[in-house]
């Protein structure tokens, strides 16, 4: 028996990288998915790959920072699958600068995507979850649901040039621990995974062909300098960055039934690196 058979999981930022790996891991264990990406093509790719696992998936494309996104995302899960079992708030990106060069727009953008967007998704999910729990209690059943929020080693320890990113990733830790206390009565566990160096386009080596992420009208350069990557890799006890699949495995730990009595926790998935 697959451990997530019949579950419905919602994953933001699932068109590529860590988010796609999370969605595919959950599908491989039996979950159906509502996924999101900013763009149609990556979202469609993930939906197709989930279908290869024999699971259903629907995509809600668009910017997670839009005021109505959380409502649309949750409503799609209820309309398509009739329930919510797992929520993974993964969408995000870095927009870096040292503080004297960081604009208000940059700082707000980091807070909006890493804290406000997950807040809106979870706020939208609150009433449907309460209604589902009431119906389950009336029939004598208890269902444990899961929320996994994504933070970063920068959110726990800070990182030069990332005041906005670190602040947003720190805020999601506070939201995680608060909701663990608010939603425990509904048998919802709320945990957080903070990533170290994971090999994605965001952490690729900067070079002549730097990739640019288009976030609305903004163009955000991806990648980090080669010398910093080398220095960081030397600090990691396991000696390398993690793969998206390994990152997804850390998230899955909090989605599996074995973690039903773990809530309000932050796990650092960093290969042993503690900054």
Cα(257)–Cα(185) distance, integer angstroms: 17
Secondary structure (DSSP) of 24-50: HHHHHTT-EEEE--SSHHHHHHHHHHH
Instruction: Report CA dihedral (253, 244, 173, 220) to the nearest 10 degrees.
Output: -160
Owner of token pair 């947003």: 168
- Comparing CA positions, the residue from 55, 58, 119 lying closest to residue 91 is 119
Sign of CA dihedral 245, 250, 254, 259: positive
Lookup: tokens for 115: 């804290």
Q: How far is CA 151 from CA 50, 257, 265, in A?
A: 25, 22, 12
From 93, 157, 165, 261, active-site residue: 165
Cα(264)–Cα(260) distance, integer angstroms: 12
Owner of token pair 């990332």: 162
Is 165 a catalytic site residue?
Answer: yes
For 69-97, what is the HEC assignment? HHHHHHHHHHHHHCCCCEEEECCCCCCCE
Lookup: tokens for 123: 């706020």
Active site residues: 165
């Amino acid at each position: 028996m697959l451990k997530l058979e019949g579950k419905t999981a919602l994953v933001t930022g699932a068109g590529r990288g860590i988010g796609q790996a999370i969605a595919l891991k959950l599908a491989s264990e039996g979950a159906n998915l509502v996924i999101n990406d900013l763009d149609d093509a990556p979202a469609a790719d993930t939906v197709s790959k989930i279908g290869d696992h024999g699971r259903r998936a629907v995509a809600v494309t668009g910017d997670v920072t839009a005021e109505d996104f959380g409502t649309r995302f949750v409503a799609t899960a209820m309309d398509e699958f009739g329930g919510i079992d797992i929520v993974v708030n993964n969408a995000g990106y870095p927009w870096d600068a040292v503080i004297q060069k960081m604009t208000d727009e940059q700082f707000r953008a980091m807070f909006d995507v890493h804290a406000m967007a997950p807040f809106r998704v979870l706020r939208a999910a609150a009433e449907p979850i309460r209604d589902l729990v009431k119906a389950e209690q009336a029939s004598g059943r208890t269902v444990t649901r899961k929320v996994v929020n994504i933070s970063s080693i920068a959110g726990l320890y800070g990182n030069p040039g990332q005041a906005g990113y670190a602040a947003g990733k720190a805020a999601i830790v506070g939201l995680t621990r608060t909701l663990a206390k608010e939603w425990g009565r509904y048998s919802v566990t709320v945990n957080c995974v903070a990533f170290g160096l994971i090999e994605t386009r965001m952490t690729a080596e900067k070079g002549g062909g730097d990739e640019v992420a288009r976030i609305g009208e903004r163009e955000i350069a991806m990648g980090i300098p080669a010398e910093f990557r080398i220095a960081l890799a030397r600090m990691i006890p396991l000696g390398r960055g993690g793969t998206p699949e390994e990152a997804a495995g850390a998230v899955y730990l909090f989605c599996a039934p074995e973690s039903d009595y773990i809530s309000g926790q932050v796990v650092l998935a960093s290969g042993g690196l503690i900054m």
